Amino acid sequence: MSMDESESGYKWLRHTILLCSFGFFTHLVPSEAFITPYLKGPHKNLTDQELVNQIFPVWSYSYTAFLIPVFLLTDYLRYKPIVILQGLGFIGSCTLLVFAKGVPMMQLMQVSYGLATACSIGYYSYIYSVIEPEYYQKATSYVRTSTKVGLFISALLSQLLVSLARLDYYYLNVISLINVSIGFVISLFLPFPSRSLYFYGQNEAVNSKISTEGGNSLLAITDPGEEHLEKETQGGKRSQQSVFSKWKTVLQQLLGDIRQCYSNSNLLRWSIWWALSTCGYSFVVNYIQNLWEIIAPSQGKESGVYNGAVEGAAQILGAAAAFSVGYIKVDWKKWGEMFLGFGSVINAGLLFVMYMTSEILICYVAYAMFIGLYNFVITIAQFQIAIGLSTERFALVFGINTFAAVVLNSILTLIIVDDAVLGLDAKTQFLFYSVYFAIIAAAYLCHGGYILRKQCHIQRNRNLDVAEEPTIDDEKL
């Protein structure tokens, strides 16, 4: 191995370890599993109606508002500032959970959390700007695993602290604040990438720096007077024109890439399912604890609440389901839509069970199965969407799909959750989610059945043509 190869291998590993450490600590938040009991308890004294219809919807609105600016600025600022901003968002939300009270402050907490989740674009795409393509697969796997491990350990830790140590929910939030603060400090040590997808190529970033330094030197040695002011003014105008021209070029390239990617009908169908399912998944994850509170209120029996254990089991089941995808051999181009349809049917059934049951254990099991199935199918969707796309376009398509999911989530939140419109309680919401997935299932089963029938008809015609084709002996006769 040459010196350059050795240095490159050490470099990618160093960057990946830093990024994995950031992801691990910012997801090591034991307070998440018991957030609803904490907010309803004596520390905050919030009601179900305030939580479900006034506070939790703010996350969806803020996430949507921040996503587009963050998406554009991530590339322009070269990733690191966005990762740092994500760390600050987590610190802000945890600080408000520990020290603040009242509906307005908890709404501000949701805004801070919405900023942090929107900045995850910068976190997940940072690694592609600092390492070489041959390390993409390993780095992506390690980064994704670090967040899953953080979520699993935080869920397990929270359950042990509550059930065995009888720790107050308040101290779970203190531990979370300490962990996300450690993650923020780690983000400060991340190096600035020298390139990005749209604004800075490898050479352009260096040339820009040299040009700026040269300009500063020129101004330093020029004599003061009208000539100097005129040159400075012209330089400022050229700089403004250059920035405007650059943004215009980037937006044109971005729109061109989007058109090119989504002109693939197969990718488009998987992407639509991605957006619709992710929207429904976000609803379930955000409001499941409110449903558990309705079925089995937690106040006064903290040691008998198993939210952390269920979340931990769901994470493990989801990770195992995603891992199993690598060993399944199916013609997804032929059977993909039917699979998406049947998966959505099962999800609809599990959500209906959650709505109907009055047994908390049944609801726990249904939720864990829902999370496992979602992770299984979304992994297949990621794989199918990634086929034929470069790594950069892969990130772009996933960003657009996520944005579509968040926008739809905000619209539905306004209609069914926000008390400005319907303001449904958590239990009734799960009936809506069941119907929502049933509609997705019907659409994909119908279209998948049509495509399957069409393919079978084409294959049958091909077989008939081969059978009727004359042989050499027949031609001689």
Contacts of 268 by beta carbon, 8 Å cutoff, 6+ apart: 262
Question: What pLDDT digit, counting tens, does each position of 17-43 carry?
Answer: 999 999 999 999 999 989 999 999 899
Which residue segment(s) compose the domain that 320 sits in? 262-477
Q: 442 with 448: CB under 8 angstroms?
A: no
Query: Is 440 inside any structural domain?
Result: yes
Mean pLDDT check: name the lowest of 130-144, 203-217, 296-310, 445-459: 203-217
The number of folded domains in the chain is 2
More confident residue, 305 or 21: 21
Q: What is the token pair recorded at 117?
A: 């989740």
Q: Which of 165, 188, 211 is the last residue of a domain?
A: 188
| Pair 140, 287 in one domain | no
| Pair 420, 271 in one domain | yes
Res. 392 pLDDT band, cuts 50 70 90: low
């609801």: which residue's tokens?
363
Q: What is the token pair recorded at 207?
A: 């040339």
| Pair 140, 271 in one domain | no
Res. 212 pLDDT band, cuts 50 70 90: very low
Average pLDDT value over all residues in the chain: 80
| Pair 303, 426 in one domain | yes
pLDDT for 204:
45
Q: Which of 131, 162, 188 is the last residue of a domain?
A: 188
Res. 214 pLDDT band, cuts 50 70 90: very low
> CATH code at 151?
1.20.1250.20
Q: Is residue 4's pLDDT more than 90? A: no
DSSP, res 288? H
| Pair 304, 444 in one domain | yes
Query: Is 432 inside any structural domain?
Result: yes
How far apart CA 58 and CA 47 sit, in angstroms, is 16
Closest C-alpha to 212, from 242, 168, 188: 242
Query: Is 378 inside any structural domain?
Result: yes
Task: Measure Cα distances from 33 to 39, 50, 86, 128 in Å.
Answer: 12, 19, 21, 32
Closest C-alpha to 178, from 160, 164, 157, 199: 157
pLDDT for 180:
96
Q: Which of 162, 188, 214 is the last residue of a domain?
A: 188
Q: Is residue 476's pLDDT more than 50? A: no
More confident residue, 323 or 109: 109
Closest C-alpha to 199, from 239, 251, 260, 238: 251
